[in-house]
Amino acid sequence: MPQDHRPAKSVRVLLAEDQGMMRGALALLLGLEPDIEVVAQVARGDAIVDAALTTRPDVALLDIELPGRSGLDAAADLRDEVPDCRVLILTTFGRPGYLRRAMEAGAAGFLVKDGPVEELAGAIRKVLTGETVIDPALAAAALSAGPSPLTARERDVLNASVDGATVSDIAGTLHLSESTVRNYLSSAIGKTGTRNRMEAVRAARQQGWL
């Protein structure tokens, strides 16, 4: 065996987490496992694919809310660019909509961050063998909540509405007419049962639809 007593073939893990202290702690704790090796650490979602192409991890452990690109979008990118890499979502926000989107993006697992590191290490091993690992309470909540009522375009328009963007700004960003943007916004507001687009954004985020 190698001098650090690891087996000849360790599970290679990529870790994507924007909070430096959390990222360092996770890397340290996982590194104590005899069969797990953290081969890459990134703080941005748009750095995940490049890091995976360079280091070829067996499992990518991704947070959801990352600068540059969300972990959910990055999961879909990895499915296309590095199909041998299994994706495990680890997040503070156990929202039913996030779980559904993670599964749609090809993730093999979804856990919240308040669990013990032994549980996380076990989940990494399980997804590598082809199992799907999902937090039981979150799975139950997702089933009861049902799918997101928003279309892809309605999500795009709501996402573009943050930070006080005007209808004109959104139209320019998404290459749509202003009347089309207004129609999408009106539809999204109706589906979320809110009074305006800012409330619609908040409601959709709380459900994990954005």
- pLDDT cut 70: percent of the chain above it: 90
Say if CB 128 and CB 59 are below 8 A apart: yes
Q: Residue 101 — very low, low, confident or very high, per pLDDT cuts 50/70/90?
A: confident
Task: Read off the pLDDT of residues 17-66 as tens digits, 9 standing for 90 and up.
Answer: 999 999 999 999 999 999 999 999 999 999 999 999 999 999 999 999 89
Dist CA 183 CA 190 (whole Å): 11
CB-based burial label for 146 (10 Å; 0-12, 13-18, 19+): exposed
Q: Report CA 157 to chain centroid distance, whole Å.
A: 20
Say if CB 18 and CB 66 are below 8 A apart: yes
| Sign of the dihedral through C-alpha 46, 50, 55, 60 | positive
Average pLDDT over every residue of 144-156: 78
pLDDT at 115: 77
Say if CB 135 and CB 111 are below 8 A apart: yes
pLDDT at 94: 66
Q: Residue 102 — very low, low, confident or very high, per pLDDT cuts 50/70/90?
A: confident
* C-alpha distances out from residue 208 to 2, 116, 146, 161, Å: 44, 24, 12, 16
Q: Residue 85 — very low, low, confident or very high, per pLDDT cuts 50/70/90?
A: very high
Task: Read off the pLDDT of residues 115-149 as tens digits, 9 standing for 90 and up.
Answer: 788 889 999 999 999 999 987 766 655 555 567 78
pLDDT at 15: 96
pLDDT at 6: 43
**pTM, rounded to two decimals:** 0.67
